[in-house]
Amino acid sequence: MDPLSLIETKPGAYSLILHAGSTPVDEVIEELGHEPNGYFWEGVAQLVVRSDAPHLEGRFRYDPEGSMFCAYGADRAALEELATHLASVATDAVRARLIVTNAEAQGFEFDD
C-alpha cells in the first residue's frame, strides 16, 4: 500500500491518504507537464477505477487538496483495493507514464 495509508477516522469510516509530492514517480509526472498534487492523483484514481476496477465506482468519495489525495467512505475493502491500484502507479515510472499519456491521448484532462 506504500506510499498510501488507510486510516480509520471514526468507527466504520476510513480515509485513504497519499501525501502529494512524496511518490517515487513525481519526477516523471513533472516531466509529463503535470504537478503531482492531490488533484492530479484524483484523476489517476478515476482512471484506474474506470479502466481496471469499474466495480469500485461509487463505493467511496474523493476529497483531494493540493498537498494530499484523499478518498474516503465506509467500504474499507474498496479503499484497500483502490490503494493497491494507486500504489502500482505511484511506485512504477513506466506505469505512471503510460497512464498519463494514454489518458491525454483519449482527451482526459488532469485537474492539477
User: If pLDDT is split at 50, 70 and 90, which confidence band does 108 have?
Assistant: very high
**Which residue ranges make up each domain of the chain?**
4-105
Per-residue model confidence (pLDDT) at position 111: 87
Question: Three-state DSSP class for 103?
Answer: helix
- Counting Cα atoms < 13 Å in the Cβ hemisphere of 71 gives 27
Cα–Cα distances in angstroms (integers) from residue 63 to residues 47, 97, 102, in the given order: 16, 24, 24
Per-residue model confidence (pLDDT) at position 47: 96
84-104 burial string, b = 16+ CB within 10 Å, else e?
Answer: ebbbebbeebeebbebbeebe
- What pTM did the predictor assign? 0.93
Q: Check pLDDT > 80 for residue 2.
A: no
80-102 tens-digit pLDDT: 999 999 999 999 999 999 999 99
Furthest CA-CA distance within the chain: 42
Q: Check pLDDT > 90 for residue 37.
A: yes
- 4-105 folds as Ribosomal Protein S8; Chain: A, domain 1 (3.30.1370)
The predicted model gives 16-38 an average pLDDT of 95
45-77 tens-digit pLDDT: 999 999 999 999 999 999 999 999 999 999 999
Per-residue model confidence (pLDDT) at position 112: 82
Mean pLDDT taken over the chain: 95
Per-residue model confidence (pLDDT) at position 67: 92
